[in-house]
C-alpha cells in the first residue's frame, strides 16, 4: 500500500505499483487493479504496517479471500534482513515520512530525477 512516489524509490520486486498519488486514492485504485482476482493471495506492504491494517479489512470486505500483510512494514522487514544477514527482496530506499524522506534498504537506485532523468532516489 504505497503511493506512486513512494514506490519510485523503493519497492518489492514484481510489486504492483498503484497509480495513486494520495493515500485516500490507494484503496479504490488497488481494489480496481485487483478486480477479478478475488480468489488469489494478496500480500500487502507499507512503511510501518499501519496502512495495511485498513487496506486488508477493505479488501476482505470487497470479497478477497486471502489477504496478508507484512508485519511491521518495510521498517521491520529491513531490520530483520540486516539482523539475519539475508538478501532483501525489497529494492531501493524505504520512503519515510520524516525529515530523512527515506531509509536505505539496499544500494539499488531505481528512481529517476523527474527533470533530467538521471538515476536518483531523492524526493
Please indicate whether residue 46 is annotated as part of the active site.
Answer: yes
- What does DSSP assign to residue 101? -
- What does DSSP assign to residue 120? -
Which of 46, 52, 113, 116 is flagged as catalytic? 46
Sequence-distant (≥ 6) Cβ neighbours of residue 98 within 8 angstroms:
none
CB 106 within 8 A of CB 91: yes
Residues annotated as catalytic are: 46
Amino acid at each position: 500500500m504505497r503511493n506512486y512516489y513512494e514506490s519510485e524509490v523503493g519497492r518489492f520486486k514484481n510489486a504492483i505499483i498503484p497509480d495513486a498519488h494520495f493515500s485516500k486514492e490507494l484503496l479504490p485504485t488497488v481494489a480496481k487493479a485487483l478486480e477479478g482476482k478475488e480468489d488469489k493471495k494478496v500480500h500487502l506492504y507499507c512503511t510501518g504496517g499501519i496502512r495495511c491494517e485498513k487496506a486488508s479489512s477493505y479488501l476482505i470486505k470487497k470479497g478477497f479471500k486471502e489477504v496478508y500483510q507484512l508485519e511491521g512494514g518495510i521498517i521491520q522487514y529491513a531490520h530483520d534482513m540486516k539482523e539475519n544477514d539475508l538478501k532483501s527482496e525489497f529494492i531501493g530506499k524505504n520512503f519515510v515520512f520524516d525529515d530523512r524522506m527515506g531509509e536505505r534498504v539496499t544500494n539499488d537506485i531505481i528512481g529517476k530525477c523527474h527533470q533530467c532523468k538521471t538515476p536518483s532516489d531523492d524526493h
